[in-house]
């Protein structure tokens, strides 16, 4: 049997139990007392209108909102109350969230782009007191739950007192419920207490502290995604200004990069696909000093490849920048391990960028199927213990994921979370080796193939479906649903995709690939590699596909030569995911384009001598 030193255990720095008893909102109020006139929130809308709130103003208005929210509390409620929030990024969003926490409640993020069936499941299971929405929102999707607009809530709040609330509170009380893709095909609500959130933030403040001249930070991540938590509360609790970025700006490097420059942003959290997009855009520009102040680049949500890390250091040659690779999931407060790259030389000889070591007060174990520790260097399932663990799932679902810790000698670490990821430990650093089950990250969102399969299978006349990811983590990554259809039906791929658009969010929408049968291995399991080979084979004749997918109808004769370069370039970048031909009045994003391949398209066109911007 291996010794403890040889076994696959890594411990983060142990900081001891803090004497600090303040909750998230109490830490904010403390910051507001120290810097009352400093700007807390800054937002500029698409029309150029600016909205600014000082720490004192935000503290006062959220005290009023909290009192207004408390009036929705039900006397018979025994568990902690939830407030669902479905709002666009603006100065109003953090204001509502802070008001919810001050009311002694937890916030539950929703997205207006969620399919109605997903929203209905979440509301029925979580039973929030109310849903706070924008003026003019479609209220039909919230049927059965009380809905109030921000404007209505604000009117009620104006009648309340501005002084701080006196409530009985505990660090173990809930702060947030985040829904994530479930292994059973049903979304699961992850329960995040204040103590869990604060352990993550306190590690960040110690390991990656804000510089004295770092006055502003950006909030640009969807509220339903775990990275939003540290983006919002990390800066605000440290008396920094939170710059709220509209979605339209985040998706467009020609708008996003000037915003980062204008506010002298020094750190940025982003998924690798967005990093790739920004690097490609920067490489098109001649200004070597662009984003000179942005020193810390944090990648999370997807696998960071060595090639992309190399590209980062090529773009920012000798610029004294740090590229961080964070690893985690919603169940471990978004991030539980990290690796810092300070120079290109660290990448020499690497096949994969490590996910590194655990954050403070956390332990990573690698185990076999019986949860026994394995020797270092071997691949096993990654399980986590420590203060970053969530309190489980709402309605106590999937109890096999949160278990008693069989390796705990310390009462500090009584529980473990099974991540479902494979990893190994090499030179005191964790190397990620992929998923145990059928989940993957797409644009930072965890997508469970089972959930997608169940939705596809409900389409009439589909017999069987298998969902796989082609080239995960690469530019051409694609989610593919291989389907067989009932004999005698004329269902086409586009028919199925059109139906799925009504029930799946964009990042979960697969390409449909119709096959005559699902191939099996000798053991009766699905032959996934054979399905992917068939898909690759169908893509091998891409030149014919590109030619076929261009329609020059209506193009003026004097522009035809340019169109014969532009259209095929777009078709080749979007690939087979294009659901309609590239034509004169086609919308790039509706064809299947996104912020990343828009940059790639511009790059290819510039290589051919055409100067064009992202927004052209």
Per-residue pLDDT tens over the stretch 538-580: 876 554 555 557 888 888 888 888 888 888 888 777 655 555 6
Higher confidence at residue 609 or residue 142?
Answer: 142
* pLDDT value for 547: 55
Per-residue pLDDT tens over the stretch 481-530: 999 998 778 889 989 999 999 889 888 899 999 998 888 755 455 778 88
Q: Say which residues have a Cβ less than 8 Å from residue 271's Cβ, sequence separation at least 6.
A: 299, 300, 301, 302, 441, 443, 444
- Residue 243, classed as helix, strand or coil, is strand
Q: Name the packing angle between helices 306-315 and 272-284 (round to 10°).
A: 30
Q: Would you say the pTM of this structure is higher than 0.85?
A: no
Q: Say which residues have a Cβ less than 8 Å from residue 39's Cβ, sequence separation at least 6.
A: 52, 53, 54, 55, 241
Assign 150 a pLDDT band (cuts: 50, 70, 90): very high
Average pLDDT, integer, range 389-410: 87
- Residue 356, classed as helix, strand or coil, is strand
Q: What is the 3-state secondary structure (H, E, C) of 100-141?
A: HHHCCCEEEECCCCCCHHHHHHHHHHHCCCEEEECCCCCHHH
Tell me the C-alpha distance between 413 and 14, whole Å.
Answer: 12
Q: How far is CA 340 from CA 299, 303, 343, 405, 521, in A?
A: 10, 14, 9, 29, 42
Assign 601 a pLDDT band (cuts: 50, 70, 90): confident
User: Chain centroid to CA 318: how far?
Assistant: 30
Tell me the C-alpha distance between 76 and 446, whole Å.
Answer: 36
What is the dihedral sign for C-alpha 220, 253, 55, 33?
Answer: positive
- How many other C-beta atoms lie within 10 A of the C-beta of residue 457? 15
Query: What are the residue ranges of helices labelled H in 208-305?
Result: 227-236, 247-250, 253-262, 272-284
Structure tokens at 46: 């698409």
183 pLDDT more than 70 = no
- Residue 584, classed as helix, strand or coil, is coil
Residue among 399, 391, 417 at smallest CA distance from 177: 391
Structure tokens at 50: 């600016």
Tell me the C-alpha distance between 263 and 57, whole Å.
Answer: 21
Assign 616 a pLDDT band (cuts: 50, 70, 90): low
Strand partners, 544: none
* pLDDT value for 456: 92
Inter-residue contact 478 to 470 (CB < 8 Å): yes
Domains of the chain: 439-538 (3.30.300.30)
């Amino acid at each position: 049997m291996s010794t403890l030193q040889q076994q696959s255990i890594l411990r983060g720095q142990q900081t001891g139990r803090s004497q600090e008893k303040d909750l998230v909102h109490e830490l904010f109020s403390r910051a507001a007392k120290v810097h009352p006139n400093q700007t807390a929130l800054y937002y500029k809308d698409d029309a150029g209108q600016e909205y600014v709130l000082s720490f004192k103003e935000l503290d006062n208005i959220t005290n009023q909102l909290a009192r207004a929210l408390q009036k929705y509390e039900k006397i018979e409620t025994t568990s902690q109350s939830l407030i669902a929030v479905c709002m666009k990024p603006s100065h109003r969003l953090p204001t509502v969230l802070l008001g919810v926490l001050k009311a002694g409640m937890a916030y539950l993020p929703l997205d207006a782009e969620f399919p109605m069936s997903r929203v209905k499941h979440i509301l029925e299971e979580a039973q929030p007191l109310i849903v706070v929405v924008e003026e003019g929102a479609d209220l039909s999707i919230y049927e059965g739950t009380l809905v109030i607009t921000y404007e209505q809530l604000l009117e009620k709040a104006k009648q309340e007192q501005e002084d701080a609330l006196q409530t009985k509170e505990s660090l173990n009380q809930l702060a947030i419920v985040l829904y994530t893709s479930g292994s059973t095909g049903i979304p699961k609500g992850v329960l995040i207490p204040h103590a869990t959130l604060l352990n993550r933030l306190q590690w960040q403040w110690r390991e990656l502290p804000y510089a004295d001249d770092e006055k502003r930070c950006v909030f640009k991540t969807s509220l339903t995604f775990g990275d939003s938590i540290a983006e919002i509360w990390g800066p605000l609790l440290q008396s920094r200004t939170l710059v709220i970025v509209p979605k339209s700006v985040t998706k467009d490097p020609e708008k996003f990069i000037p915003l980062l420059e204008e506010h002298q942003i020094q750190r940025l959290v982003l998924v690798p696909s967005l990093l790739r997009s920004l690097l490609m855009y920067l490489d098109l520009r001649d200004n070597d000093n662009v984003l000179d102040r942005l020193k810390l680049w944090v990648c999370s949500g997807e696998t960071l490849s060595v090639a992309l890390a190399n590209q980062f250091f090529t773009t920012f040659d000798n610029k004294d920048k740090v590229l961080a690779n964070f690893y985690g999931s919603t169940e471990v407060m978004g991030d539980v391990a990290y690796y810092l790259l300070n120079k290109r030389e660290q990448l020499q000889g690497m096949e994969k960028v490590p996910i590194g070591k655990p954050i403070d007060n956390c332990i990573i174990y690698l185990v076999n199927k019986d949860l026994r520790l394995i020797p270092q260097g071997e691949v096993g399932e990654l399980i986590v213990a420590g203060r970053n663990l969530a309190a489980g799932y709402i309605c106590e679902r999937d109890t096999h994921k949160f278990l008693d810790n069989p390796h705990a000698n310390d009462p500090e670490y009584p529980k473990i979370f099974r991540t479902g990821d494979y990893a190994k430990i090499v030179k005191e650093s964790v190397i990620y080796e992929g998923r145990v089950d059928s989940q993957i990250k797409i644009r930072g969102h965890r997508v469970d193939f089972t959930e997608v399969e169940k939705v596809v299978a409900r389409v009439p006349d589909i017999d069987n479906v298998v969902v796989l990811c082609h080239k995960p983590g690469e530019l051409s990554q694609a989610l593919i649903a291989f389907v067989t259809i009932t004999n005698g039906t004329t269902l086409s791929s586009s028919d199925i995709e059109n139906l799925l658009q009504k029930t799946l969010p964009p990042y979960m929408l697969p390409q449909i690939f119709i096959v005559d049968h699902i191939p099996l291995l000798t053991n009766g399991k699905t032959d996934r590699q054979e399905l992917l080979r068939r898909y690759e084979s169908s893509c091998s004749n891409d030149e014919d596909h590109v030619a076929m997918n261009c329609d020059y109808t209506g193009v003026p004769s004097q522009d035809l030569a340019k169109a014969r370069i532009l259209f095929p370039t777009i078709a080749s970048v979007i690939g087979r995911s294009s659901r309609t031909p590239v034509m004169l009045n086609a919308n790039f994003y509706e064809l299947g384009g996104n912020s990343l391949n828009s940059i790639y398209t511009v790059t290819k066109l510039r290589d051919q001598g055409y100067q064009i911007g992202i927004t052209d």
